[in-house]
Amino acid sequence: MIRRKEAKDGRARFAAPVAAALLALAPLAPPQAAEHGAAATNLPAPGTYVLQKIQRVPDATLLDEAAAPVKISAYTRGAVTALGFFYGHCADPTGCPVAWSVFEAAREAARRDPLLASRLRLVFVSLDPARDTPSTLRLLKSNENGDDGHAPWSFLTGASEREVTPLLRAMGQDVAYEIDDSGRRSGAINHMLKVFLIDPDGWVREIYSTAFLTPESLLNDARTLARAFPNASSRLVEP
Amino acid sequence: MTLTLKSGAVVKRALALGACVLGGLIAHETSAARADETCNSPFMSGLIKGQEHYLHVWTLGEKGVGDESDKLVTIDVIPGSATYGKVIHTLSVGGRGEAHHMGFTDDRKYLWAGRLDDSKIFIFDVGSDPAKPALVKTIDNLAETTGYVGPHTFYALPGRMLVQALSNKKDHGGVTGLITYNNAGDLVATTPMPVGDGGDGYGYDIAINPGQNRMLTSSFTGWTNYMMDAAQLMQDSAAMKNFGGTMVLWDLKAMTPVKIFSVPGAPLEIRWALKPGANWAITASALTSKLYLIREDGDGQWRAKPVADVGDASKIPLPVDISISADASSLWVNTFMDGTARLFDLSDPEAPKQVYAKKIGAQVNMVSQSWDGKRVYFTSSLLANWDKKGADNEQFLKGYSWDGKELKEAFVVDFHKEGLGRAHHMKFTARAQKAELP
């Protein structure tokens, strides 16, 4: 097991040369397929099945990349939304890297799909507000979004861990903070990877875990919801 | 459509986050689980292949035994522990409602346990302190809200629990359905078992292959039969016709039947081969004493076929629970009537061969093995009215070590002597992590 060195202040350093040097020393492992994570086959055609209404997305106040307080409902209503929880320090190959890659692949396909381009929204909410600050989110947002506004990818965080906790509990996002030998947090957040697909009315209609989170399954279900909600729009409505 | 995952973006993010995303792999666990059986839902995250710490036994209250109530019994199975092999906690839920099976939620923090008579579902918190489970919710309106009774199998889906019922409220026969709850215990959906195209509408077990988007279900019998005295049932020729003889292959995403197989004689527990690349499942038919293989053949067609006899079918040994090894190389099969555990070699799943047998007790029903296959646990009770009578009504949990050649007894808990009742389904847990959500 290789442990990552934390920056002394526990925060990200954004000096590109330093980052590049560190990258050369310790390249990030590419995302790996999960144990059961072979691309799902035998999926029914989009629109030929109905996704169950599993649970409602609770409301919660978070921070956007401009550090402005926002209601999560602003990001989970009106569109077909794929929402995942992440943290920037995550290096569990079956965790956040899988979600990143699936979101990137799904977004790339959605941008070229007339059914999804203006209806699908992607949202990442940080589990680690102390380190995933709005300034970090700004960088991520600029990296992950094109200029056309299609299938926008939003990044949200909390003012504090305590602010995010009720949302995690209500969504059923399991989280545990790893403790090192000295009894202090190591910085790793053990969490079960989950991605939630949400309809424009705010109902969670599918939950993906590592066992079957693939771009194909996510897109298939997103297309099913987009057909059921032709008026869905991924444009954020200003409060 | 095939999509290629980009890795360039990883570098972009690394440059954006600097030290945040640098480093090699951190092999931390993605769940608090530290011990797994081979029969849990694949949607339970991050299977851990270590030593189980606690064994929970869903136990039927028995008249004249202890408090006579159904209860969740917890046994310490930590090697070297001062209380190894001993009962360390019991939690009575009140009444006797035919306690039967249990299943973990996807995060493994909660254990759902059902009763086949009054159809109550109990949700236990086993995440906060697995040594001391706590009852946090009781669902007592299954029949009223769904029309189904007899919640049997509890199978985790992400954020949900899929429940296979055995019977229905209207006539207590075998026609039944599936019920989906979310993890909070709210009803999400009901799905009837198919009755057309060869379907008998019966249900029993659930087993899912997520990569294939396929689910298998099996079939047993309705409330009228499973609550009847076994000897009386055997002599009732009309009642004996009311046993399931089908399995169903489902499109999991759509929750619609894809194919119905004829599998005579009440096919019970279903186990998918967990070996990567394997594309088959196995079950045992109780009344015809056969192992059936369900497999996608070379022509892309799924078929179910008998591949082995379990004992002498003419003597109705009654194969009950089965447990497949993690590498799909072997299968434990319990036969209730002779109290025997049999091991089948599955090297060729088309032709399983019995390679070992050991009498566990006068009767034996459930079997659970550790992920590494080195520990095997057995319990005794089948159904309150089907268990043997008199001296043969042994009620126990027995733990064994398995070295590949011999089962060696490690401990026995006599559920009568301890005043507990009839020992049925088992689940493993391990010590929880200390740091949870604030």
Task: With CB atoms and an 8 Å threshold, state whether A172 touches B6.
Answer: no
C-alpha torsion sign, points A30, A35, A37, A40: positive
Give the contacts of B179 (CB within 8 A, at least 6 positions apart): B142, B146, B148, B151, B162, B163, B165, B187, B189, B190, B191
Of A42, A140, A193, the CB nearest to B13: A140
The tokens describing B34, both together, are: 């530290």
CB contact under 8 A, B1 and A216: yes
Q: Count Cβ–Cβ pairs < 8 Å, chain A vs chain B.
A: 237
Inter-CA distances, B350 with A39, B234, B415, Å: 27, 32, 39
Region of residue A108 (phi > 0: left; psi between -120 and 50: alpha; otherwise: beta): alpha
Contact B253 A193 (CB under 8 A): no
If you measure CA to CA, which chain A residue comes closest to B254?
A49
Three-state SS for B226-284 is HCCCHHHHHCCHHHHCCECCEEEEEECCCCEEEEEEECCCCEEEEEECCCCCCCEEEEE
B43–A211 C-beta distance less than 8 A: yes
Higher pLDDT, A87 or B433: A87
pLDDT at A229 over 60: yes
Q: Determine the pLDDT at residue B327.
A: 93
Contact B23 A193 (CB under 8 A): no
What crossing angle do the helices spanning A96-111 and B8-17 adopt, rounded to 10°?
A: 120
Along chain B (438 residues), what's the average pLDDT of each consecutive run of 10 residues? 39 40 31 62 74 95 98 96 98 98 93 98 94 98 98 96 98 98 97 95 96 94 98 96 98 97 98 88 98 94 97 94 96 98 98 98 97 96 98 98 98 98 95 50
Which one of A212, A214, A219, A224 would you mutate to disrupt binding with B, by most B Cβ within 10 Å of its Cβ? Answer: A212
Cα of B111 to nearest chain A Cα, Å: 15
Give residue A147's pLDDT.
66
Q: Which residues of B touch A130 (CB under 8 A)?
A: none
**Residue-level pLDDT at A89:** 73
- The band of A146, judged by pLDDT with boundaries at 50, 70 and 90, is low
CB contact under 8 A, B26 and A55: no
Task: Grade residue A182 by pLDDT with cuts at 50, 70 and 90.
Answer: confident
Q: Do A23 and B22 touch (CB under 8 A)?
A: yes
- Residues of chain B with Cβ-Cβ distance to A44 below 8 Å are 251, 253-254, 256
**Cα separation, A232 vs B70, whole angstroms:** 50
pLDDT at B42: 87
| Set of chain B residues whose Cβ sits within 8 Å of the Cβ of A221 | 253
Interface contact A165-B7, CB threshold 8 A: no
CB contact under 8 A, B43 and A162: no
Residues of B in contact with A52 (CB under 8 A): 160, 180, 188-189
Residue bearing the bigger pLDDT, A213 or B346: B346
pLDDT given at position B330: 97
Average per-residue pLDDT for chain A: 79
Task: Check A48 against B254: CB less than 8 A apart.
Answer: yes
Per residue in B88-130, pLDDT (tens digit) is 999 999 999 999 999 999 988 899 999 999 999 999 999 889 9
Q: What is the pLDDT of residues A97-141, one digit of tens each?
A: 888 889 999 999 999 999 999 999 999 999 888 888 898 888 878
| Predicted pLDDT of residue A29 | 30
Q: What is the mean pLDDT of chain B?
A: 90
pLDDT of residue B263: 98
| Predicted local distance difference test score (pLDDT) of residue A143 | 75
Q: Is B31 in Cβ contact with A190 (below 8 Å)?
A: yes
pLDDT number for residue B48? 60
Average pLDDT over residues A164-176: 88
Q: Which residues of A touch B46 (CB under 8 A)?
A: 94, 192, 210
Nearest-neighbour CA in chain B from A48: distance (Å): 8
Of B200, B196, B236, B232, the C-alpha closest to B218 is B200
pLDDT for B10 = 43
Average pLDDT of the residues in A6-33: 30
Residue of A nearest to B45 (CA): A192
Asked if B435 contacts A191 with a C-beta cutoff of 8 angstroms, the reply is: no
Closest CA to B114 of B430, B363, B427: B427
Q: How far is A239 from chain B (nearest CA, A)?
A: 29
For strands A185-191 and A61-63, give the pairing. Answer: unpaired
Distance from CA of B7 to the nearest CA of A (A): 7
pLDDT given for residue B47 in this prediction: 61
> Nearest residue of B to residue A180 by CA position?
B435
Count Cβ atoms within 10 A of the Cβ of residue B41 and give its class: 0-12 exposed, 13-18 middle, 19 or more buried. Answer: buried
